[in-house]
């Protein structure tokens, strides 16, 4: 990193801070569970703070805000990217991770959620939760935890109230959707450049079972409100939750964006500026899965077989070179939350042709790279009333993150 | 936190420091394994330092004492509360947790305890151990570890000797008992207010197997020495280790407290100021469990069945509303180390009626909330000759824990 | 630690820094995978920086170089010592550990190595990897990861390129070999004192299966280049990889050392200044193991039985008191990477007699104690162009590691 680059980063950060000061967010002391519960200024604030943090990191300015304190994580599903992103964000701000491994805890022992939530929060600044496998459960669990720590804080149990960051639930995956949005802002050169751009959020074939609906739901609820024209496409039977479609349509009004639904990948790809082909599970089967008496066993196995058979009827939903030709100048930006099912690489037949993925591979890595900053931004905007002041404080202190030698 | 609150916290901390200076503890360079091995001044010192740390945390004064260093943990039994409490304490002081997961280590490989103890200690300031499942083993293991790192330190293997903190063994659970004591001090408004108060430490019914004896043992050994009148009550067959009863009785003399034993919950509850109804396993079965040739298998299973059948004969040992009416003005303070077996909530029939638990639920959370500070205090009082000077240093530096914006 | 001791440590550190300044290493921005890829100045640089870090730790000078940042670890085999050593090094420099637990990640999901490598690296300064179980795989995997993060860095995915530290692969165990070397330097009183000393790196009997070849390979490739006369001895069938023997012989030329191979433990021990008797698996069986279609199952089991039967033919390869008498004045330094298979202690018949091991036990602990500093040194020498300047900066700042009270 040259001195010149650093200067440029700091200048950019200063400009973002000025923009930040014009906004009226309502994020302080709140949790970040679903983007559609947030105002347009909230979204812009989180985005701007994330961009400033990226600039400060690049300029080797320490973003430590905490001398001590815990970032607690609860992962009820596997994770690589998000687990590391949460670690990155925690480390950036000076927090230490403490993971609630439910198998090694006494939770089986009949402990209630509200009790556990308080027990892990005595010196906790943020709780990050992933709970995305069971429809109707993940968001509900997060609300329960949020209410418990709010009670604990009000009753004097907790000296500070930890904020919650949704690291993927059954409804939304806000750290992903916001990182995706930041990727688009960088790609098109500004938030105002997103207006009128067409995004194809489409289902794609995968040989694997039970992929959550939260990524496409996050995208269709968030991008229309930036003025983008989002087309959701999927085979019949792969509908998303209707209330989230509604949320997406409602918010679209804010900036003249739109959300439409169809059952044709070609139609969605036609003249698209951005394509996001990604597999998810059939809604009805995911709902039946929750209703089964047990979470293991032969009935669950049978359901999985049904879902895989259903997927297999739609192998033509693949992001091939031919499909890419349908997009605007044949050059739409391909996006994915990773890992993708790449035909001939990670599976025999999958979501995307190897040559298409390879062309955009580095782009998808960059897309993922925004997540740590988005998470750190969600923490800062919840813990501090005046995030612009926090950013200015860091720049004024200018403590180097790595000794500058 | 208002400026006024912070000022009050700092004034309180200053007062505690003055009190601290009058004591002559013998904690420096020692381990904290059992309260009954400690002097009365030792107990008061740990308590005072914990109280000061609570005030500093509340006043946003950083308690970082270490710029680098490890807090190693060894959990030979499940844990939520204590695991997080140890993380909190470590983070508060600037240490990073490194957990010895015996399954992922090479210990199965015939490595000796003294070797492992040194291998995890090259830059380790404290080792926290939970080993509470096997009577006659836990304390013994901790002593072995303590001797190993003492040898390593003496022989120049370790540049510093880590102190040991007992996070629950088969004999004592000192971080719990001390946190419970701090809860009582706060509840009654001072350590001197504890004199003459009656505490009912009683067995209670639970449908679960193998609960350690260390919590009741910790209570009956510690509280009498503060001048409290402790009544231990349990059905026949649920005796505690006789040497610990002796320790409790011996120390009771110090401040005019007492320890008596009976077999009636009602008798214990009668006019009690504090009740602590909690299940534990039958002593003889716990001793037989250790003597069985294998720690798994059908013989262990049979033993478990015998214990559960024995428990089931005493379902009337439940902390009901009726029983609570027997206590002083019907308003004794209910205590529990959590998680409690709550009738109709976490099990069909358990230790405590749901309405009783709900009334004191927030109190039990606060009780648990002292544990991180107790652990941090145990570390500080072992690592520094003059804890009062350390506290004064932190107040003088007044580095904010969170940037004050 | 007395003031006098601290002064001595700091003076020693200053002398090492002067020596450091005379070297021309080529470590900056490089990975540390195998010692034989490194120059003699590289080896000396890593060693000197480790020695300076030991002195600074001893003098209570903080070695924090990072205000935030992650040290990512990937353990594909069990580990106690190395896992903790990596934690120690990370903590010493101010980094937080984030462990990639491949079972809890989405890697099974078809993710490629190059993708995962980038996903765990957005704010990562170092990646430590252990992958030692499968011949032909471990080093290959590390190279793949290294190439992936180099690409990510070049393409702007990663704001900084993490360096890789090999925490044991199928070929080398450089943090062990370098710690062993530092142990020898301390034992004999300087690097120049190693010239002409005879080292017996010999196979020894063990009742366990599949021990990696990387420790003996690391020793025979590294020690000859310091001018030592290394004799490798093993029964027929326990050959090491021929290309590493070649590397050892080639480098021996640099300082007049030598590497010879024989099949007699007695011959190797004869007049040896240092003995390193340690078990490893038969090469051919390790190679067959990799070729089997599955990594589990009855064929693997059969192979294990064959290997153990083969081991059992060589129980006389034990480091007994008799064998020790063959060494220089009967007083050779016994070395081991730990844990050792000690006859009558950790197994019925093993690598070393109990009385021999006990005499050198504390020495082997000290040997292991250098590893955290070696790892920290590998990180610093890769992340900074001018390690001497970094060391001088730390001494100038003189921030205490623990508050000096």
Domain ranges of chain C: 67-170, 175-368
Non-local (6+) Cβ contacts of A221 within 8 A are: A34, A35, A36, A172, A177, A244, A247, A248, A251
Query: What does the pLDDT read at residue C101?
Result: 87
CB atoms B110 and C401 under 8 Å: no
The dihedral through the CA atoms of A346, A348, A353, A359 has a sign that is positive
pLDDT band at residue B78 under the 50/70/90 scheme: confident
pLDDT band at residue A345 under the 50/70/90 scheme: very high
Task: Select from C145, C196, C171 the least CA-distant residue to C328.
Answer: C196
Non-local (6+) Cβ contacts of C107 within 8 A are: A80, C116
Task: Report the C-alpha dihedral over residues A140, A143, A149, A152, rounded to 10 degrees.
Answer: -90
- Class of CATH domain A3-172+371-397: alpha beta
Beta strands in B106-160 (DSSP E): 124-131
Whether B254 has a pLDDT exceeding 90, the answer reads no
**Burial (0-12, 13-18, 19+ Cβ within 10 Å), A312:** exposed
Alpha carbons C363 and C356: distance in angstroms, whole number: 12
CB atoms A119 and B400 under 8 Å: no
Which residue of chain A comes nearest to B342, CA vs CA?
Answer: A110
CB atoms C87 and B96 under 8 Å: yes
pLDDT band at residue C108 under the 50/70/90 scheme: low
Instruction: Give chain B's mean pLDDT.
Output: 96
Alpha carbons B342 and B356: distance in angstroms, whole number: 9
Mutate which: B61, B64, B209, B405, vs A, most A CBs within 10 A: B405
Q: What is the ipTM of this complex?
A: 0.96
Q: Which helix (H) or strand (E) holds C73?
A: strand C70-75
Non-local (6+) Cβ contacts of A176 within 8 A are: A82, A168, A214, A215, A218, A337, A371
In this complex, which of A96, A106, A159 lies closest to B91 when CB atoms are compared?
A: A96
In this prediction the pTM is: 0.97
Q: Under a CB-based contact definition with an 8 Å cutoff, are residues B180 and B189 in contact?
A: no
Rounded to the nearest angstrom, the minimum Cα separation between A209 and chain B is 30
Alpha carbons C71 and A71: distance in angstroms, whole number: 17
The predicted-structure confidence for A333-344, as pLDDT tens digits, reads as follows 999 999 999 999
C347 vs B contacts (CB less than 8 Å): 110
CB atoms C66 and A338 under 8 Å: no
Q: Which residues of A touch C (CB under 8 A)?
A: 57-58, 62-64, 75, 78-81, 83-85, 87-88, 90-94, 96-97, 208, 338-339, 341-342, 345-347, 361-362, 365-366, 368-369, 371-372, 399-403, 405
Q: What is the DSSP letter of A161?
A: P
A97 vs C contacts (CB less than 8 Å): 96, 98
Query: What does the pLDDT read at residue B110?
Result: 61
Q: Which helix (H) or strand (E) holds B199?
A: strand B198-203
Q: Find out whether the peptide bond into B178 is cis, omega within 30 degrees of 0.
A: no
Does A176-368 match A3-172+371-397 at the fold level? Answer: yes
State the chains in contact with C (3 or more Cβ–Cβ pairs under 8 Å).
A, B
The predicted-structure confidence for A390-404, as pLDDT tens digits, reads as follows 999 999 999 999 999
The predicted-structure confidence for B36-75, as pLDDT tens digits, reads as follows 999 999 999 999 999 999 999 999 999 999 999 999 999 9
Residue with tokens 């501090």: A384
CB atoms C104 and A400 under 8 Å: no
Task: Select from A121, A117, A131 the least CA-distant residue to A82.
Answer: A131
Alpha carbons C59 and A47: distance in angstroms, whole number: 45
Just give the CATH number of C67-170.
Answer: 3.40.50.1370
Query: What does the pLDDT read at residue C156?
Result: 96
Q: How far is CA A160 from the centre of its chain?
A: 26
What's the rounded mean pLDDT across residues C161-169?
98
SS3 C260: strand
Query: What does the pLDDT read at residue A79?
Result: 87
C123 vs A contacts (CB less than 8 Å): 57, 88, 91-92, 372
Alpha carbons B312 and B306: distance in angstroms, whole number: 10
**Summary count for chain B: helices (H), strands (E):** 15, 9
Query: What does the pLDDT read at residue C283?
Result: 95
Whether B141 has a pLDDT exceeding 90, the answer reads yes
Alpha carbons C282 and C312: distance in angstroms, whole number: 12
CATH entry, A176-368, from 3.60.15.10, 3.40.1190.20, 3.90.1150.10, 3.40.50.1370: 3.40.50.1370
Which residue of chain C comes nearest to B122, CA vs CA?
Answer: C369
Task: Select from C102, C75, B83 the least CA-distant residue to A104.
Answer: B83
pLDDT band at residue A295 under the 50/70/90 scheme: confident
**Fold of the CATH domain B175-368:** Rossmann fold (3.40.50)
The predicted-structure confidence for C291-310, as pLDDT tens digits, reads as follows 998 888 899 999 999 999 99
Token duo for residue B170? 């088969």
Alpha carbons A200 and A223: distance in angstroms, whole number: 11
Query: What does the pLDDT read at residue C1?
Result: 52
What's the rounded mean pLDDT across residues A347-356?
97
Q: Under a CB-based contact definition with an 8 Å cutoff, are residues C401 and B69 in contact?
A: yes
pLDDT band at residue C112 under the 50/70/90 scheme: confident
Alpha carbons A312 and A208: distance in angstroms, whole number: 10
Alpha carbons A72 and A124: distance in angstroms, whole number: 7
The predicted-structure confidence for B87-140, as pLDDT tens digits, reads as follows 999 999 999 999 998 877 666 556 789 999 999 999 999 999 999 999 999 999
Which residue of chain A comes nearest to B55, CA vs CA?
Answer: A159
């Amino acid at each position: 990193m040259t001195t010149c680059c650093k200067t440029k980063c700091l200048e950019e950060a200063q400009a973002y801070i000025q923009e930040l000061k014009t906004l009226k967010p309502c994020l302080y002391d709140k949790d970040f569970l679903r983007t559609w519960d947030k105002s347009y200024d909230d979204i812009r604030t989180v985005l701007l703070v994330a961009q400033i943090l990226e600039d400060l990191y690049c300029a080797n300015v320490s973003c430590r805000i905490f001398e001590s304190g815990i970032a607690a994580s609860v992962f009820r599903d596997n994770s690589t990217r998000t687990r590391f992103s949460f670690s990155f964000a925690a480390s950036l701000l000076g927090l230490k991770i403490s993971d609630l491994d439910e198998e090694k805890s006494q939770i089986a022992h009949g402990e209630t959620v509200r009790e556990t939530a308080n027990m892990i929060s005595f010196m906790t600044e943020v709780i990050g939760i992933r709970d995305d496998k069971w429809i109707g459960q993940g968001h509900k669990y997060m609300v329960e935890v949020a209410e418990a720590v709010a009670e604990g804080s009000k009753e004097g149990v907790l000296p500070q109230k930890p904020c919650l960051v949704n690291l993927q639930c059954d409804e939304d995956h806000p750290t992903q959707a916001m990182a995706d949005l930041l990727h688009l802002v960088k790609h098109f050169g500004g938030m105002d450049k997103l207006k009128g751009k067409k995004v194809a959020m489409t289902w794609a074939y995968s040989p694997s079972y039970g992929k959550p609906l939260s990524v496409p739901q996050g995208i269709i609820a968030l991008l229309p409100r930036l003025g983008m024209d989002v087309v959701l496409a999927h085979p019949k039977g792969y509908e998303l939750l209707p209330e989230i479609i509604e949320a997406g349509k409602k918010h679209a009004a804010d900036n003249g964006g739109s959300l439409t639904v169809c059952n044709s990948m070609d139609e969605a790809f036609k003249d698209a500026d951005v394509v996001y082909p990604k597999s998810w599970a059939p809604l009805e089967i995911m709902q039946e899965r929750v209703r089964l008496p047990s979470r293991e066993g032969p009935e669950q196995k049978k359901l999985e077989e049904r879902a895989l058979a259903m997927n297999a009827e739609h192998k033509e939903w693949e992001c091939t070179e031919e499909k890419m030709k349908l997009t605007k100048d044949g050059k739409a930006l391909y996006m994915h939350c990773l890992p993708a099912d790449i035909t001939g690489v990670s599976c025999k037949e999958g979501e995307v042709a190897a040559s298409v993925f390879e062309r955009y591979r580095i782009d998808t890595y960059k897309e993922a790279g925004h997540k740590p900053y988005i998470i750190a931004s969600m923490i800062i905007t919840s813990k501090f009333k005046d995030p612009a002041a926090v950013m200015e404080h860091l720049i004024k202190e200018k403590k180097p993150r790595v000794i500058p030698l």
